[in-house]
Structure 1
Amino acid sequence: MARRYDSRTTIFSPEGRLYQVEYAMESISNSGSAIGILCKEGIVLATEKKVISKLLDTGAVGCRREKMYKLDDHIAVAVAGLTADANILINKARLSAQQYLFTYQESMPVEQLVRRLCDVKQGYTQFGGMRPFGVSFLYAGWDEESGYQLYHSDPSGNYAGWKAHAIGANNQQAQNILNQEYKEDFTFRDAMKLALKVLSKTMDSTSLTSDKVEMSTVKYDEGASQVVFSYVSEEELDPLTAEVNEEGKAAKTD
């Protein structure tokens, strides 16, 4: 028998709040996949684009990027789940980062920013009348104390550091591929190729094309002494997607 959810009777009980967390996790599982990979040159973030209509004005505010956001000069996130919920948390994170910069005249450590945002997310699981944020984040950043860092947080407020991680649809299958093929000496190209391979296995599509993928990199430029966050263009992705598709076809024939 299907479980019937009545907000009037269950939202204030522990069971009701647990149900809300489960509902938030389900909304993440139904969203597009997001992949984060730590390599020796930096961090690669890749997500599946759900909206690829030719009618979409990609130059308009709010449409340039679907699931990747810059929080500060040294940290960015990839999102899986409800984008509207993500926008609220992203604004809070940006405000926290700027307040820290104003107070201490230096960038906020990556883990400290992650922890502060997770405190907000956890607070929404404690009380009746509020539902958890239905979104998971992959944080990619660099600071002087710990170098490159990749974190994942979920609606409950838990977070952990990873060398490679996948969230969103078919995340378990994606995680299995990362466990088998990830290597710590990866270059940017190796990490990008692995991210595309993982996306090709999790997407509901027969072939992978660059217009269905959103990818970015985080790298510390020693010459300029600053962290560089940049998006990978479709032209740069085309050779890699073609290579991944060819390898996939070869694997099927074998």
Structure 2
Amino acid sequence: MARRYDSRTTTFSPEGRLFQVEYALESVNHAGTCVGLRTNTGVLLASEKKTMSKLLEQSSTPEKLWKIDKHIVIAVAGLNADAMILVNFARLVAGQYKARYGLPIPVENLVQELGDHMQGYTQFGGLRPYGVAFLFAGWQGGFQLYQSEPSGNFSAWKAAAIGASHQAARSILKTEYSEGLDISEAKGIVSKVLQKTMDCMSLTEDKVEMVYLSYNELNGEVELERILL
């Protein structure tokens, strides 16, 4: 039955489903796990690094964490080629906003602009949805964590996970998360989640990348720190 409705992005099935969007979401669910956790002093982002081959140069391994502006960093799950296009688009939007208003772009504005762009690819023939999802960590008067999907939908979270085994990851986050976590507690929770989803006893830097976005009240600047495992 699905064959009649999955060849076009703009065709709804009798159940009201867009199969091409669901297929894009499946590509995200087969990617490496990404986890985001908001603490009392910042936002922690962690991503599983999948090595496609031992013969591949380390410098050629696809990046999973990207800095969009000095106050926004994102984690990527899905098709790397699609992710690069959207990362460049997000940087362009952030730069244009700053040039026009002289201020850093609010995190929600950037997420909405990117979501609108992604949603446009679900409603016109001849296009396919982007097969990528994002976690946005940012600071704008307070720490924020957003998640976006290939459909263009986005939402704000205290803790979130995307990619492979995201449902198991969210179950652990729901159990372990509490208000007022510090960085060491957040790192412990995220490590527990990744150990479960990756099915490994110990995490190493060649398997996981982790960064922490914080705000320095002394100089009024947002700082991005790479967390060592």
Q: TM-score, normalised by structure 2?
A: 0.91
- Counterpart AA for 2:94: A
User: Percent identity over the alignment?
Assistant: 49
Equivalent residues of 2:10, 2:18 under 8 A apart: no
Verify: 1:138 aligned to 2:135, yes or no: yes
Matched with 2:31 is 31
Matched with 2:202 is 208
Q: CA RMSD in A?
A: 2.0
Distance in 1 separating the partners of 2:46 and 2:134: 12
Question: How many equivalent residue pairs?
Answer: 226
Distance in 2 separating the partners of 1:126 and 1:3: 18
Verify: 1:180 aligned to 2:175, yes or no: yes
- Counterpart AA for 1:42: G
Residue number among 116, 120, 135 corresponding to 2:117 in the alignment: 120
Deviating beyond 3 angstroms after TM superposition, the runs of 4 or more aligned structure 1 residues are: 2-7, 9-12, 52-58
Verify: 1:101 aligned to 2:101, yes or no: no
Cα displacement (A) at 1:224: 2.1
Cα displacement (A) at 1:56: 4.1
Equivalent residues of 1:17, 1:126 under 8 A apart: no
| Matches for 1:151-162 after TM superposition, within 5 Å | 151-162=146-157
Unaligned 5+ residue runs, structure 1?
Answer: 238-254
Distance in 2 separating the partners of 1:143 and 1:40: 14
Q: TM-score, normalised by structure 1?
A: 0.83
Verify: 1:82 aligned to 2:76, yes or no: no
Cα displacement (A) at 1:96: 0.5
- Counterpart AA for 1:69: W
Equivalent residues of 2:9, 2:122 under 8 A apart: no
Distance in 2 separating the partners of 1:110 and 1:11: 29
Equivalent residues of 1:17, 1:128 under 8 A apart: no
Instruction: Determine which structure has the larger helix proportion and give its number.
Output: 1
Distance in 2 separating the partners of 1:185 and 1:160: 21
Distance in 1 separating the partners of 2:68 and 2:37: 18
- Counterpart AA for 2:184: R
Cα displacement (A) at 1:6: 8.5
Matched with 1:72 is 69
